[in-house]
Amino acid sequence: MENRILVKDAFKKKGKVDVAGWVHNTRDLNKIKFILLRDVSGIIQITGVKGKTPDKVFKDMSGITRESVIYVSGTIKDSKQAPGGKEINPDKIEIISKAEDLPIDVSDYSKTELPKRLDYRFLDLHRQKTQAIFKIQSEICNSFREFFYKKSFIEMQPPCIISSASEGGTDLFPVKYFEKDAYLAQSPQLYKQMVACSMGNTFMITPIWRAEKHNTTRHINEIRQMDIEIAFANQEIAMKEHEDVVKYIVGQVIKKCKDELKLLKVDLKIPKVKYLSYDETVKSLKMKYGEDLSPEDERKLSNKYPDTIVFVHSWPTKLKPFYIMPKGAKADAKLSEGFDAIYGGVEICSGGQRIHLPDLLEKMLKSKGLNPKNFKEYVDSFRYGAPHHAGWSLGLERLTEIICGLDNIREATMFPRDRDRLSP
C-alpha cells in the first residue's frame, strides 16, 4: 500500500500500479466485472475477466458496496471503452472498509435536499460536485495567500477570544473564560490595525462569529474572513488591492480548476471593475438616500454590471462603523472613506480607511452613542506612533459561493454553523 499513487497519476503510468479509493460504481456481467474506483483526483475503471483475473480476486469483485474503500494492485492498460481510455487489470484487491447502506444519494445526479446532505456532510464530501467546491475553495485560499506573500505582507493570527466587542455591536457569542466574561471574536479589526500600525502590511484568513439570528441564503454564524490591513494607505489603495487580489484569485481558479468548473457548469470570467460613489449608487438605483443597500439593491447593481466587482465607496459616515475615517479627518464630515464591494449580487467585502487619531476616534465613538471608556484600550493603541492605514474583510464563503455559481452559502461552507445547525 506504500506504493499507492493517485488515480490521475495512474493514468500516466505503464505496467504495474497500486491505487486506493472509494467504490464509485460496480457492474457485474458474469464473465466480466467492473469497478469504478474514485479518489479525490479522478475515477479509473478496474476490469476483471473470468479466467484471466486470479480466481479469488475475480470472486471478491462481486458485491462490493458503493463507497466501500478498496486497495487495488494491478496492471494499467489502454482500453477504448473505459472512461479516460485506460483500465486496471487487478492482481490483488483488498477491501479496507465496507460501506453500509447509504443514507443519502452521493451520485452526481443526487436529488437529496441540502439540509439532509448537510446532516451527512461527511458522506456528502464523497460527492464529486461537493469535492469540486472545496477544491476551488482551497485554491481561493492558496492564491489569496500567494498574492500577499509575493507582496511581502505578513500573515498574522489574530485571537479568537476577546474581552469586549470590537465593533460595539451586540451580536456576540459569550464564552466563559475562567472567572471572566469573554466573547468569540466578531472581527479581527483591532488586532490587524495594531499590526499594521507597528509592523506594516498584514493579511490573514481567520474565523469569526456573529450571533445574528439570520435565516438567509447569504448568512452563517461562523464565517472565514480574508482580511488585510495596509499601512500608509487610504480607501483607494485598499480598493485597488481588493480588485487586484480578486482578479488574481479568479484567474488562478480558471487556470487550475478547469475540471471542477466544468463539473459545476460554471463559465467563470475574470471580473471587470466599476467604482461608484454612494451618491452615484443612490441615483443609479433610485434608492432612498441615507440607507444601507438592501439585498435587492445589491442584486440590481450586479444585474446592471454583470461579471463586475462594483465598489460602492465614500459612504455616509452615519452608515459606517465608528472606526471608519470621515472625509478630511473631520468629525462632522457627512461622507466617509468606507466602501463595500458587490459581486455576483451580494456584498462580498467591506473596508475603508481607519481612524488613527485618538481624539477623532473618541469624537466618533461619542457621535455613534458609544462610550469611549469602553474602547480605551483600542483608542490608546494609537497613541504611540500610528500611521494612517486602510483595509478590508472579504468573506471566504461568499466569494466561494459566487465563484462556484451556488445559490446558498451553506453549499460553500464545509461544516456550516447556522441558527439551527451545530453538527456535524
| 131 contributes a contact to Mg ion by CB under 5 A | no
212 counts as catalytic: yes
Q: CA 298 to CA 412: how far, in whole Å?
A: 20
Q: How many residues does the chain have?
A: 424
Catalytic residue among 210, 354, 356, 389: 210
Choose between 45 and 225: whose C-beta lies nearer to ligand ATP.
Answer: 225
Residue 301 has a CB neighbour count (10 Å cut-off) of: 22
| 187 contributes a contact to Mg ion by CB under 5 A | no
Catalytic residue among 146, 167, 212, 243: 212
Rounded to whole angstroms, what are the CA distances from 389 to 205, 309, 362, 365? Answer: 19, 23, 18, 18
Catalytic residue among 38, 121, 126, 219: 219
User: Which residue in 394, 322, 331, 408 sits closest to 365, CA to CA?
Assistant: 322
Task: For the CB of residue 370, give the shortest distance to ligand ATP in the complex, in Å.
Answer: 16
Task: For the CB of residue 124, give the shortest distance to Mg ion in the complex, in Å.
Answer: 30
Residue 122 has a CB neighbour count (10 Å cut-off) of: 9
Task: For the CB of residue 15, give the shortest distance to Mg ion in the complex, in Å.
Answer: 57
Which residue's Cβ has the minimum distance to ligand ATP? 395
Name the one residue in this structure whose C-alpha cell is 455616509: 316
As to burial, measured by CB atoms within 10 angstroms (0-12 exposed, 13-18 middle, 19+ buried), residue 15 is exposed
Choose between 266 and 348: whose C-beta lies nearer to ligand ATP.
Answer: 348
Task: For the CB of residue 237, give the shortest distance to ligand ATP in the complex, in Å.
Answer: 18
Residue 395's binding partner among ligand ATP, Mg ion, none (Cβ under 5 to 8 angstroms by kind) is ligand ATP
383 counts as catalytic: no
219 counts as catalytic: yes
Which residues of this protein are in contact with ligand ATP, per CB under 6 A? 210, 219-220, 223, 225, 347-350, 393, 395, 397-398, 409
Residue 40 has a CB neighbour count (10 Å cut-off) of: 14
- Beta strands 86-97 and 42-49 are parallel
218 counts as catalytic: yes
Q: Using CB under 5 A, pick the residue from 45, 112, 225, 350 that binds Mg ion.
A: 350
The cell for 149 is 506573500
Q: CA 274 to CA 278: how far, in whole Å?
A: 12
Which among 280-288, 301-309, 346-354, 412-420 is the span making contact with Mg ion, rule CB under 5 A? Answer: 346-354
Is the separation of the CB atoms in 5 and 45 below 8 Å?
A: no
Q: CA 412 to CA 395: how far, in whole Å?
A: 11
Choose between 202 and 350: whose C-beta lies nearer to Mg ion.
Answer: 350
381 counts as catalytic: no
Catalytic residue among 218, 299, 417, 421: 218
Choose between 34 and 315: whose C-beta lies nearer to Mg ion.
Answer: 315
Which residues are marked as active site? 210, 212, 218-219, 347, 350, 398
